[in-house]
Amino acid sequence: MTDWPRYGDEYAIFPRTMWHAKRGGHDGGKGSSGQNGVDPSQVPLQDWFKGTDLQWFGEIGVGTPPQKFNIVFDTGSNTLEFPSVACGAPCAKQRQFDPSKSSTFVDGGQEQTLVFLTGGTTQPVIGNDTALTIRSATDTVSIGGLSVKDTPVFLIINQTATFADNPYDGIQGLSSDAVGFMGGLIAQGLPSLFSLYLTPDKVGQANLLLGGIDHSKFKGDLTYASLPSPAFGEWVLLSSNLKVNGNSLKVANNSRYMIFDSGTSNMILPQADAEAVYAQISPDIKPNPAVAGTYGIACSKIPKLRAEITFTFTSQSGRPFDMTIPSSELSVGPFAGNPSLCQTLINADHFTLLGGSFLKHYYTVWDIAGQRIGFAKNGL
């Protein structure tokens, strides 16, 4: 999920206060320790599949003793939110945190509304229909056996209906700044990186590795690309070219900054770019007026279409390298109420973003200290 505007000429003002921690060192190896002996820790992730792989989420504990929640680990945001008992009916289907049952809870007392630009499904966000009302606090947070005291958290005290049926409870932001829980771990000596192995539902075994890299999940070397400076907390890279089935996109400017967001299901491009991509795949892909910002095609036509979408980036060594979304990702499943019309993976909006449709084909390393992202094909 993304809660700030696109990187580019207009820079985002974060909608929430960010607590910065001192950056620690980083280590590229699985099982290595930080300066104070904090070992990497693996967090198993579940996959929410509904037409496509929508979200990957894992368990965390908050408070003393820990109250358990399922949380999306989201590189498109920067803090931790989960439901409070104060939310009541809007959060009835999620687990709710009870502050009175935690001996380490401290109420921050500040309330605000957080509006997201992308949500937990493939449907575009319309206006303020994906929003949380949150209250600041601090408490002990535990993830994968690692704990950080006095972690800044946000209690959800109200939420829009778009969150009501999600199988997870909240969101843990993992921005490119060392903030919140991740910042606390780095201050303790954990290597300042994390890795994501996001897999299709049929494969399973997805995981988040805090502080390390699992070389058993990919073959060959990782290719790293540097974030722009400053990155403003975003995980964003400059793409110099976009190709469809090997042919460069026919637009005025084929260079664009791409946000990498593990909390968004599919892919987002400006309308002109989205339609230029679709024009090179099939003239039968059309906007769906029933759901603004989406496109669709008869499901029966999907298997016959070649739809490889390739982005070119520049490695730290200065060499261009390509990464591809395969044709199998073209459909994200039928539209609700129209089982013969399949939604295609690119939504149109005013920013550019690569989500789960891309990330589940690569093992990714998110290096906070190095301000870079590493990629390797995961072979899935």
Per-residue pLDDT of the chain (380 residues; tens, 9 = 90+): 665 444 433 223 233 332 222 223 323 333 334 455 689 999 999 999 888 899 999 999 999 999 999 999 999 999 999 999 999 999 999 999 999 999 999 999 999 998 888 877 888 776 677 899 999 999 999 999 999 999 999 999 999 998 988 999 999 999 999 899 999 999 999 999 999 999 999 999 999 999 999 999 999 999 999 999 999 999 999 999 999 999 999 887 889 999 999 999 999 999 999 999 999 999 999 999 999 999 999 999 999 999 999 999 999 999 999 999 999 999 999 999 999 999 999 999 999 999 999 999 999 999 999 999 999 999 77
Q: Which CATH class is domain 41-210?
A: mainly beta
**With 0-12 CB in 10 A as exposed, 13-18 as middle and 19+ as buried, what is 134?**
buried
pTM of the model: 0.90
Q: Would you call 329 helix, strand, or coil by DSSP?
A: helix
Which regions of the chain carry the CATH code 2.40.70.10?
41-210, 216-377
Q: Is 107 noted as a catalytic residue in this protein?
A: no
CB neighbours of residue 100 within 10 Å: 7
Beta strands 53-62 and 46-49, pairing class: antiparallel
Instruction: Note the helical H segments in 121-222.
Output: 180-188
Beta bridge partners of 342: 297, 334
Catalytic residue (choose from 3, 27, 53, 74): 74
CA distance 331 to 130: 23
Is 139 a residue of the active site? no
Amino acid 129: pLDDT: 79
Find out whether 143 and 80 touch, Cβ atoms under 8 Å: no
Q: Which one is catalytic: 3, 53, 169, 261? A: 261
Structure tokens at 316: 């730290």
| Max Cα–Cα distance, the chain, nearest Å | 61
Q: Which fold has domain 216-377?
A: Cathepsin D, subunit A; domain 1 (2.40.70)
